[in-house]
Amino acid sequence: MPEKLLSIKEVAEYLKISEEEVQRLVDSGEIPAYRIGGTFLRFRKEQIDAVKEEVSTVEEEKKALEPDSPRIPYETKAGRISQEPIAPQFDYTSVEKIKDFFYFYDFYIFSFIVILLLLYLIFKS
């Protein structure tokens, strides 16, 4: 008897993620898939179980290593509330701020000087 292969919808329900997320995981090679007829994606249940187990162990390890940091809730595109750590803020010195200013605005400063030079040459004569 041939084994039953799962569809994208069944895998999405099983992993509790969207069908688009399943497709993204297939495209990135994180979930093995089989093309039937060149168009339909199908999945083996054993392989999906292995992926689910691997993800759960990685998440457990990540939680064990993660320090207790303040988190803020935000809503994702899928409408789920997620908790993200607050990014640490660093104070920049005045010298670093000036370097950043010239780094990001050097083209505009150069253009302004060229325009002033051209205006001077035009109105000088």
Average pLDDT of adjacent 10-residue blocks, the chain of 125 residues = 80 88 86 79 87 78 65 56 55 86 92 97 90
What's the pTM?
0.46
Q: In this structure, which CATH number among 1.20.140.10, 1.10.1660.10, 3.40.630.10, 2.60.40.10 belongs to the domain 5-85?
A: 1.10.1660.10
Residue 33 contacts residue 26 (beta carbons within 8 Å): yes
Beta strands per DSSP E along the chain: 5-6, 34-36, 40-44, 71-75, 81-85
